[in-house]
Amino acid sequence: MTEHNPFMSRIRTALGHSAVQAGGVERCSALFRTTDSVEILERIESRSQESRRELLQQFRENAALLNLNVHAAAGFSAAGEIIAGIIQNSEPEFGSDRQVIQHDHPDIAALALSTRLGDGVVLHTTGTADRDLREKTIASFVGLTAPFWGVADSATVVQITMPGQPRSTSLVPAVHIALLRLENLLADLTELYAVLRRDPPASSYVFISGPSKTADIESKLVHGAHGPREMHAVVVGLER
């Protein structure tokens, strides 16, 4: 930090603050003050199954505008059927290998995909000790992740990087499937920022709202610029 001193002191001089004020905590207490989010968090905690279903409907409508396909499943078995169907109906983009990479996550394990996919599909799981993981990810045409949060208003899923849940799974394969629990569906970005403030991610994270896209050539929308060209969100937990 000390090696940045001349740089910082030039900025301080530009602002007309003296070196004595350098710490500036009092000067800035208002700057770092944020609105109390207790009410927002309580609203999320006490949300009924009925209003969660309403959020799912909003999520679905907003996702449609972004060409993000939303599927609803009662339980993990039904979700597994849906996901196996998506994989079977997709074609590899780079090469002909039918390889799929899935996050090491209990919800994904509960899908029992290895038994649902035929012999023609190779299924990889992102174990932390696997040195060939990068090659497997590049070779896969479908990436399956279990993002923690979903946001109905912007049709967003939030993927937090963790051991066994690297970021490339939702990025490098041509098709991204996100498995999301209904109870983790939030109303809007205000709710999302409130929960992120309560549970700050320990590593990098990303908001994903639909498949990769570009409109750089004559403003014409094309999906699949660099990230996945196709995205599905499978929301599980409609029973109860």
Partner 1 sequence: MSAEGTTDYREGARRGLASESLQKNLKNLQNRYGRGALEHWASLAGADPRERVKHKRMQTLENLDVVLAALIEKIEARGGQVYCAETAEEAAAYCLELARRHGVKRVVKGKSMVSMEIGVDALLQEEGIEVVETDLGEYIVQLREEPPSHILGPCVHLNRQQIGSLFAEKLDIAYTDDPPTLTRAARKALRQKLLHADMGITGCNLACAETGEISLVSNEGNIRMATTLPRINVALMGIERIVATMEDHRDLLQLLTRAGALQKISTYVSFAGGPSPAGDPDGPAEFHLVLVDNGRSKILADPQFREILACIRCGGCLNICPVYGRIGGHAYNAFYSGPVGAVLTPLLYGINEHADLCKGESLCGACLDVCPVNNDLPRMLLALRKKLAYGDPDWQVHAHKPFEAKTFRAWRRLISSGPLYRLVLRLLAVLQGPFIAKNGMITKLPGPAGAWTKDRDLPPLARKSFRTRWQERRKAGQGRNDAEVRND
CA distance 170 to 29: 39
Planar angle of CA 68, 177, 229, nearest 5 degrees: 55
- Site for partner 1 contains 28 (CB under 8 A): yes
Nearer Cβ to partner 1 (113/172) = 172
Nearer Cβ to partner 1 (84/146) = 146
Choose which of 55, 178, 212, 236 interacts with partner 1 (CB under 8 A): 212
- Site for partner 1 contains 38 (CB under 8 A): no
Choose which of 126, 140, 145, 184 interacts with partner 1 (CB under 8 A): 126
If phi over 0 gives left and psi between -120 and 50 gives alpha, with beta otherwise, what is residue 159?
A: beta
Q: Which of these segments, 13-21, 43-51, 104-112, 116-124, binds partner 1 (CB under 8 A)?
A: 13-21
Task: Quickly tell me which residue has 């209990």 as its tokens.
Answer: 106
- Count the residues of the shown chain that bind partner 1, applying the rule CB under 8 A: 76
Nearer Cβ to partner 1 (32/106) = 32
> Minimum Å distance from CB 80 to partner 1?
25
Q: Which of these segments, 43-51, 78-86, 112-120, 217-225, binds partner 1 (CB under 8 A)?
A: 217-225
Residues 41-70 that bind partner 1 (CB under 8 A): 62, 66
Residues 70-109 that bind partner 1 (CB under 8 A): 94
Q: Which of these segments, 47-55, 103-111, 115-123, 150-158, binds partner 1 (CB under 8 A)?
A: 150-158
Residues 159-178 that bind partner 1 (CB under 8 A): 161, 163, 166-168, 171-172
